[in-house]
Amino acid sequence: MKRLSLVISFCITFLFCGCFFDSNVHYSIVVTNNSDNDIYVDGWDSPDELYVGFSLLYHNQQSYRVPAHSTCETAKLDGRASWEGLLNSSEWDTLAFFFFNANYIDSLEQNGFDYYDNYYQTIQDLNDYAVLRRDCFSLQDLDSLNWTLTYP
């Protein structure tokens, strides 16, 4: 009898949790990198906030890395709201995705770079050397792309 109660409890829990799954909510983006170099990709709800995306990327690089000639699920929100939720709670109507030069970002860490000690210089250097491309998309744009971005 205890075993039957345990099985029924498990089934109810499984069904209850499944009710909250929404296949129309996205927590990551699929990125296809057709270039000869690795890239990092991150997005944010403000098209002008390069430093926010870079800060997140800098502290968790591997989840944002897309190797050359590959397709990866990246730009993960890691505990933040879904991309839809982020944009719906934002004052902006588009999400900005930044494609970063992985070699440049990697060289910062290898040279003992401290993001916080060099904040303003970092923003200027990122604009000059690290950002390969910035794209802005509405939710409708991302839906039409099947939540897949392609670089270049």
Q: What is the pLDDT of residues 26-52, one digit of tens each?
A: 888 899 999 999 998 888 777 666 655
Helix (H) or strand (E) holding 15: helix 2-18
Predicted TM-score (pTM) of the model is: 0.75
d(CA 69, CA 34): 5
Helix (H) or strand (E) holding 134: strand 131-137
Residues paired with 114 in a beta bridge:
none
Residue 6 included in any domain: no
Is the pLDDT assigned to residue 93 strictly greater than 60? Answer: yes
Identify the pLDDT of residue 42: 83
Cβ atoms of 29 and 148 closer than 8 Å? yes
Residue 7 included in any domain: no
Identify the pLDDT of residue 14: 45
Residue 77 included in any domain: yes
- Higher-pLDDT residue of 100 and 121 is 100
Helix (H) or strand (E) holding 151: strand 148-151
Residue 17 included in any domain: no
d(CA 109, CA 131): 16
Residue 96 included in any domain: yes
What's the domain range around 129? 22-151
Residue 82 included in any domain: yes
Number of domains in the chain: 1
Task: State what percent of residues in the chain have pLDDT above 90.
Answer: 25
Across 49-53, 82-86, 102-106, least confident range:
49-53
Residue 35 included in any domain: yes
